[in-house]
């Protein structure tokens, strides 16, 4: 199975912008703050391939 995802709105809020070549989150939280939730959701599906 292949799972197609975007960073914004999936791994963190969608208010991310480049400032001087670096990503900056302009919302509460942190970049990749929801990554542990994705890991937990996929723990029973080790063969899933993720395309970002």
* Extents of the domains making up the chain: 2-51
- Name the residue with higher pLDDT: 7 or 37: 37
Which tokens is 36 given?
A: 């542990």
Spatial neighbors of 5 by CB under 8 A, at least 6 apart, are 11, 38, 50, 51, 52
Q: What would the pLDDT profile of 11-48 be if each residue is shown by its tens digit?
A: 999 999 999 999 999 999 999 999 999 999 999 999 99
CA distance to 14, 18, 19, 45, per residue, from 38 (Å): 16, 24, 27, 11
Predicted TM-score (pTM) of this structure: 0.77
């Amino acid at each position: 199975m292949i799972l197609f995802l975007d960073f914004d709105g999936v791994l963190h809020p969608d208010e991310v912008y480049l400032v001087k070549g670096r990503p900056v989150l302009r919302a509460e939280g942190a970049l990749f703050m929801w990554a542990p939730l994705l890991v937990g959701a996929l723990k029973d599906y080790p063969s899933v391939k993720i395309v970002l």
